[in-house]
Amino acid sequence: MNFRFHDRLHAGGLLARELSAYANRSDILVLALPRGGVPVASVVARELRAPLDVFVVRKLGLPGYPELAMGAIASGGVRSMNTEVLTSLNVPTSVFEEVTTQELQEVERRERAYRGQRPPPEVAGKTIILVDDGIATGSTMIAGIGALRQQDAKRIVVAAPVIAASTFPEIRHAADEVAAVLVSDEFGGVGGFYEDFSQTTDEEVRELLGGVTDSPNE
């Protein structure tokens, strides 16, 4: 690995260049996966002159096997089911509903922390640029794409400074378009591609969300 981003803001600037075709369009909404995706997305939104918001996604892990996703729940309470997992393991409906209720509470808690009293973003009919600071396994991003599909997004563009090469085909299949600065075969973790990969705090998320103005077309 030769190239490393200085920090998430540097990465966001380079990523914005890959998305320049979407600048100054009234149908664009930039959504960040918190927390690390927010600094990246803030630069992207500023350069594209597009509104910015967060999109909280929580996997619905099977009890005892949290890495095995039964589905996902996201901002706005939208949930998706992994019917293959649910059917093959004969997961009772009561178990799925219990986990959903728990994770919905966490989604709502995080939304309050990041957004305050502002309502979730309206995504129906819009081109969504869904941003994270890097994509390793892609499970959260795939869940986010599924949730946005259920909310009738017109087009979903996944954007990340770096994506693992082994994950890229699945992301490309799920999204309408993928934008990245690097697609790497040498992937030991997202943090390895940054000189500064310090944790983004809730307060920083709130400040960044408040610092990006709405599109001039709205």
Single pTM value for the model: 0.87
Q: State pLDDT tens for residues 73-93.
A: 888 788 888 888 899 999 999
Burial track 193-211 (b if 16+ CB lie within 10 A, e otherwise): bbeebeebeeeebbebbee
Q: State pLDDT tens for residues 137-168.
A: 888 898 899 889 989 999 999 999 999 999 99
Give the start-to-end residue ranges of the domains of the chain.
Answer: 8-54+123-210, 58-115
Whole-number Å distance between alpha carbons of 75 and 94: 22
Q: From residue 38, give the alpha-carbon distance in Å to each of 33, 42, 200, 203.
A: 7, 6, 8, 11
Ordered alpha helix ranges (H), the chain: 8-18, 37-48, 83-88, 93-115, 139-150, 168-174, 202-210
The H or E element spanning position 79 is: strand 78-81
Q: How many CA atoms lie within 13 A of 1 on its CB side?
A: 18
pLDDT tens series, the chain, 218 aa: 578 999 999 999 999 999 999 999 999 999 999 999 999 999 999 999 999 999 999 889 999 988 788 888 888 788 888 888 899 999 999 999 999 999 999 998 888 888 888 888 889 999 999 999 999 988 889 889 988 998 999 999 999 999 999 999 999 999 999 999 999 998 889 999 999 999 999 899 999 988 543 433 33
Whole-number Å distance between alpha carbons of 98 and 133: 31
Residues 6+ apart with CB under 8 A from 210: none
Give domain 8-54+123-210's CATH architecture.
3-Layer(aba) Sandwich (3.40)
Whole-number Å distance between alpha carbons of 79 and 58: 9
Give domain 58-115's CATH architecture.
2-Layer Sandwich (3.30)
Class of residue 97 by CB neighbours under 10 A (exposed 0-12, middle 13-18, buried 19+): exposed
Q: Which amino acid is at 131?
A: V
CB 61 within 8 Å of CB 96 = no
Q: State pLDDT tens for residues 180-190.
A: 999 999 888 99
Average pLDDT of the chain is 90
